[in-house]
Amino acid sequence: MKKYIGALDQGTTNTRFILFDHKSNIIASHQIEHKQLFPKAGWVEHDPLEIWNNTKKVIKKTFQKTKISEDQIAAIGITNQRETTVIWNKKTGKPYHNAIVWQDTRTDKICISLKNKEKIFQQKAGLPIATYFSGPKIKWLLDNVKGLREAAESGEAIFGNMDSWIIWNLSGGKHITDVTNASRTMLMDLKTLNWDDELLQILNIPRRMLPSICSSSEIYGKTKTAFKKEIPISGILGDQQAALFGQTCFQKGDIKNTYGTGCFILLNTGNEIYHSTNGLLTTVGYQIKGQKTVYALEGSVAIAGSLIQWIRDNFSLINESHEINDLAEKVVDNGGVYFVPAFSGLFAPHWNSGARGTIIGLTHFVNKSHIARSVLEATAFQTRDVFEAMQKDSGLKIKELKVDGGMTASKLLMQFQADILDASVIVPIITETTALGAAYVAGLAVGFWKNKKELEANWKEREIWKPNMPKTKRTKLYNKWQKAVKRSLDWK
């Protein structure tokens, strides 16, 4: 009897495999970190072969932790770090280069050269021209790796975000992606949900190297490797869309924020495409096979949880990441310190790759606890920036925010987030919503769950944080944050 759904969550810092039961409970899981490679300033890479090997290991280790057999698994879903770009040889399976990670800024000159085409990309792909997305990364690889363009034009070299890379290896060679991942490449038309010839021509990318675009929930094939049995692969969602789905944000106006390496806020806009005039992205939220496409507005913050890791690894203020909260709680406020973590420029709503990290407001009074607090508050302030833009674009007054991710464990951050937004912040019982979203779309495709109403019944609130900060204080703090951001933007 099929009692469980597997979810493979390939993230920016680690890969994990989780088994869920019908009530969305986590039964077993395992995760392994992979190396972050920084060959030059602004360059961020991953080794795709290391990630694939880790994928096989986490699957094996998860089953070793439980008595569950593979025969009991109804299907598996895949969720992944988006925009991270891999090109590999379809005959040998060998990558031509390390994966270029979404945070990487080496394509800055390419993006600057394309600025006169920005309106075309925004109208068709819903995206600004930025180093963030896959398209410029593909062009950089084709232009800089010897022999790669010829291999791509001949059909030997193929591209994928991490979902395509994992599924190609899992399935024994199926070259596919879903609409959510395709919508992050700058190459897909949001209306037709197909690769767009004009956009491909502008970036000089051969169409034949691209994967086939599928819905987010259908049976794509079965596993040929990593598992002993053949298990249906039936769900794909980019990580932030997966969190939107895992949070059951199925209604227009539902909004979620995931606090991970970066911060990603998505607002469900229903079946309508909203073109942002306030620095947000228009993206596909999800598509269930046979149903209308659901779109979303997204605000992406590059540096959130990774700022805590950076402080830990470079300044020894803390030994473990979770200690940042205890240190920050020793003071009642930030002491006038504001930390703008523009290590990869600033993403939404600014889209300025030249911005740089700034710590401002230092005095003799300031100690390490104030710094720690400013680190946590930076995530809340950046979320407010996106929140404001979303309300302007959508015309909605948003009064609650569903949240997930590792940083939701910080009570200080969650209360400050509610205060600075003047909105309720809701943490669900199951915070692994990214993996859960992948499990949900996979389960719907094979009938493990009947419909979205069944999924909504599984969602349970664990904690709710309500705003209690006076409006005058909220306004004063946010105005100072905006001044700090301006200094960061003025660096170049």
Q: What is the mean pLDDT of residues 37-43?
A: 91
Q: What is the mean pLDDT of residues 408-428?
A: 94
Q: What is the mean pLDDT of residues 428-440?
A: 91
Look at residue 491 and tell me whether its pLDDT is greater than 80.
no
Instruction: Indicate the pLDDT class of residue 116, thresholds 50, 70 and 90.
Output: very high
Q: Do 97 and 145 contact (CB within 8 A), yes or no?
A: yes
Residue 492: its pLDDT value, please? 65
Look at residue 15 and tell me whether its pLDDT is greater than 90.
yes
Q: What is the mean pLDDT of residues 337-344?
A: 92
Backbone torsions φ then ψ of 35, nearest 5 degrees? -70, 145
- The CA distance from 3 to 69, in Å, is 10
Residue 345: its pLDDT value, please? 86
Token pair recorded at residue 114? 């394309």
Q: What is the mean pLDDT of residues 323-341?
A: 93
Of 211-215, 385-389, 438-442, give the lowest mean pLDDT range: 385-389
CB within 8 A of 347, min separation 6: which ones?
A: 130, 132, 262, 299, 300, 301, 302
ω into residue 349 within 30 of 0, thus cis?
yes
* pLDDT, tens digit, 9 for 90 and up, residues 256-312: 998 888 888 999 999 989 888 888 989 999 999 999 999 999 998 888 888 988 989
Residues above pLDDT 70, as percent of the chain: 100
* pLDDT, tens digit, 9 for 90 and up, residues 414-423: 999 999 999 9
Q: What is the mean pLDDT of residues 437-464?
A: 93
Look at residue 42 and tell me whether its pLDDT is greater than 90.
no
Instruction: Spell out the domains of the chain, with CATH numbers in brackets.
Output: 4-246 (3.30.420.40)
Q: What is the mean pLDDT of residues 91-112?
A: 94
For 168, left (φ over 0), alpha (ψ -120 to 50), or beta? alpha
Residue scoring higher pLDDT (38 or 276)? 38
